[in-house]
Amino acid sequence: MQVLHRIGLWFTVSGAAVAGEGGFLFATFKGEQTPLSEQVYFAVSTNGRHWEALKGGEPVLISTLGEQGVRDPYLLRAPDARKFFLIATDLSIHRNGDWNRAVRRGSRSLVVWESTNLVHWAEPRLVRVAPDDAGCTWAPEAVYDESRGEYLVFWASKTGRDDFRKHRIWAAWTRDFVSFGEPFIYLERPWDVIDTTIVREGGRLYRFSKDEQHKAITLETGTSLLGEWTSVTNFTLGRLRGYEGPQCFQLKPATGDQSATWCLILDHYSRGAGYQPFVSEDPGSGQFQAGAGFVFPFRFRHGSVLPITGEELQRLRTAY
Alpha-carbon gap, residue 316 to 19, rounded angstroms: 18
Q: What is the pLDDT at residue 21?
A: 67
Q: Which helix (H) or strand (E) holds 167?
A: none
What is the share, in percent, of the chain residues with pLDDT greater than 90?
88
Alpha-carbon gap, residue 61 to 50, rounded angstroms: 22
Q: What is the pLDDT at residue 203?
A: 87
Q: What is the pLDDT at residue 192?
A: 97
Dihedral sign computed on CA atoms, order 33, 246, 15, 186: negative
Model confidence at 17, pLDDT cuts 50, 70, 90, reads low
Alpha-carbon gap, residue 250 to 263, rounded angstroms: 6
Which is it for strands 275-280 and 261-267: parallel, antiparallel or unpaired? Answer: antiparallel
Residue whose C-alpha is closest to residue 66's, from 100, 110, 123: 110
- Single-letter amino acid, residue 186: Y
What's the rounded mean pLDDT across residues 234-246?
A: 95
Number of domains in the chain: 1
Residues 267 and 248: beta-carbon distance below 8 Å:
no
CA neighbours closer than 13 Å in the CB half-sphere of residue 163: 0
Model confidence at 278, pLDDT cuts 50, 70, 90, reads very high
Give the other-Cβ count within 10 Å of 260's Cβ: 19
In the predicted model, is pLDDT for residue 3 greater than 80?
A: no
Mean pLDDT of the chain: 92
The CATH number of the domain holding residue 27 is: 2.120.10.10
Residue whose C-alpha is closest to residue 43's, from 228, 296, 212: 296
In the predicted model, is pLDDT for residue 8 greater than 50?
A: no
Mind listing the pLDDT tens digit for each residue in 192-211?
Answer: 999 999 999 888 999 999 99
Residue whose C-alpha is closest to residue 77's, from 48, 116, 39, 110: 116
Model confidence at 10, pLDDT cuts 50, 70, 90, reads very low
Model confidence at 9, pLDDT cuts 50, 70, 90, reads very low
pTM of the model: 0.93
Classify 314 as helix, strand or coil: helix
What's the rounded mean pLDDT across residues 131-136?
A: 97
What's the rounded mean pLDDT across residues 236-265?
A: 93
Residues 1 and 201: beta-carbon distance below 8 Å:
yes
Higher pLDDT, 254 or 27: 27
What's the rounded mean pLDDT across residues 213-218?
A: 94
Mind listing the pLDDT tens digit for each residue in 292-317?
Answer: 999 999 999 999 999 999 999 999 99
What's the rounded mean pLDDT across residues 206-235?
A: 96
In the predicted model, is pLDDT for residue 12 greater than 90?
A: no
Q: What is the pLDDT at residue 18?
A: 52
Residues 57 and 41: beta-carbon distance below 8 Å:
yes
What's the rounded mean pLDDT across residues 24-52?
A: 97
Side-by-side strand order, sheet with 150-157? 138-145, 150-157, 168-174, 184-187
What's the rounded mean pLDDT across residues 69-89?
A: 96
Domain that residue 14 falls in: 3-319
DSSP string, 201-250: ETTEEEEEEEETTTTEEEEEEESSTTS-EEE-TT-TTTT--S-EEEEEEE
What's the rounded mean pLDDT across residues 53-73?
A: 97
Residue whose C-alpha is closest to residue 74's, from 152, 20, 191, 147: 152
Q: What is the pLDDT at residue 1?
A: 33
In the predicted model, is pLDDT for residue 109 greater than 90?
A: yes
